[in-house]
């Protein structure tokens, strides 16, 4: 495909996108935008509903908001980068740009999610301890949880703010906690939601239940630290095996760049390099899965 044709397609795409955005902005008046924002604040969409896609769920788990207003612009820049890569380096470079952008976004969101959940689990015993003290002071379980969430630091307060709002609006505390547990898919939150549901249905001492849950969280954290210390050598070996081929390729490119460039200029050399890259990615994925299973 020639360069003028690619540029013509890009201009047509940008023109169509601009016309669609102009038509949407013309139809949506200021009053409708205010009403829409009020409706979102009062009744936000369910994270697990069909309307909320996997991308919105990933942003919510990472503590971010999906940029709906800029989504079309970001997609346009993505396509523009792919077209420029195709013009500069061919279809292989364009394919790399098209595939690396969503993979990088997914990896970044996953990293933020894991970091946020780890911090939430560290803050959860303090919240439960404050709930237990509020129960001993004579408050109800729902009121104690709401007060503890409001007094908690971020990111736990931001993650459980939905529970506090739902309880104040009349939603049952077990359902609100189960909703957050389904969103973050964390075992400690699921245990908390299950314990509160059992206590709500069959009765019992809520303070004793939360005290036992605090002990379980501390024990799980201690076991996780011991396992991390025992598998330190294995994890270090996996990191070395993952970095070693990339380091060797970088060394060869720095010392003798003509060697790899001559391979890239040849058709069979391109196939060899692409096969090596695919095997490297597959090996990193296998090592990562093995470490996750330890």
- So what's the pLDDT on residue 116? 92
If pLDDT is split at 50, 70 and 90, which confidence band does 13 have? low
Name the nearest CA neighbour of 141 among 163, 126, 161, 156: 163
- Degrees (nearest 5) of the Cα angle 189, 41, 71? 90
pLDDT in tens, 18-51: 665 665 555 555 445 444 444 444 334 444 443 3
Q: Is pLDDT larger for residue 253 or for residue 15?
A: 253
Question: How many residues can be counted in the chain?
Answer: 294
- Burial-class residue 141 by CB neighbours within 10 Å (0-12, 13-18, 19+): buried
Average pLDDT value over all residues in the chain = 77
Q: CA torsion sign, 247 to 252 to 257 to 258?
A: negative
71 within 8 A of 24, measured Cβ to Cβ = no
Domain 118-221: give its CATH architecture.
Up-down Bundle (1.20)
What tokens were used for 209? 């239940």
The average pLDDT across 267-274 equals: 82
Least confident of 11-20, 78-87, 145-154, 220-229: 11-20
Say whether pTM exceeds 0.75.
Answer: no
What tokens were used for 116? 């946020």
- So what's the pLDDT on residue 187? 86
Gap between the Cα atoms of 114 and 62, Å rounded: 8
pLDDT in tens, 64-120: 887 777 777 777 887 787 788 777 766 767 777 777 888 888 888 988 999 999 899
234 within 8 A of 294, measured Cβ to Cβ = yes
Determine the 3-state secondary structure of 42 from DSSP: helix
If pLDDT is split at 50, 70 and 90, which confidence band does 7 have? low
Q: Is pLDDT larger for residue 89 or for residue 207?
A: 207
């Amino acid at each position: 495909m020639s360069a003028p044709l690619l540029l013509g397609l890009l201009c047509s795409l940008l023109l169509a996108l601009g016309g669609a955005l102009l038509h949407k902005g013309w139809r949506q008046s200021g009053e409708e935008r205010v009403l829409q924002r009020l409706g979102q604040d009062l009744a936000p969409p369910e994270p697990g509903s069909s309307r909320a896609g996997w991308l919105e769920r990933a942003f919510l788990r990472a503590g971010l908001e999906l940029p709906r207003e800029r989504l079309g612009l970001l997609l346009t820049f993505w396509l523009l980068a792919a077209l420029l890569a195709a013009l500069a380096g061919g279809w292989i470079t364009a394919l790399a740009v098209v595939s690396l952008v969503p993979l990088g976004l997914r990896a970044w969101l996953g990293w933020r999610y894991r970091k946020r959940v780890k911090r939430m689990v560290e803050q959860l015993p303090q919240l439960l301890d404050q709930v237990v003290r509020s129960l001993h002071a004579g408050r109800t379980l729902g009121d104690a949880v709401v007060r503890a969430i409001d007094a908690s630091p971020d990111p736990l307060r931001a993650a459980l703010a939905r529970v506090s709002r739902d309880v104040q609006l009349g939603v049952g505390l077990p359902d609100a906690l189960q909703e957050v547990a389904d969103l973050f898919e964390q075992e400690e939150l699921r245990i908390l939601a299950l314990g509160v549901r059992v206590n709500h249905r069959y009765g019992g001492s809520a303070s004793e239940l939360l005290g036992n849950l605090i002990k379980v969280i501390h024990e799980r954290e201690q076991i996780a630290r011991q396992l991390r210390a025992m598998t330190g050598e294995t994890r270090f070996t996996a990191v070395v095996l993952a970095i070693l081929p990339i380091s060797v390729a970088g060394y060869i490119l720095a010392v003798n760049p003509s060697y790899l460039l001559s391979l890239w200029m040849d058709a069979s050399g391109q196939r060899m390099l692409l096969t090596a890259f695919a095997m490297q990615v597959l090996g990193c994925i296998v090592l990562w899965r093995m470490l996750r299973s330890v």
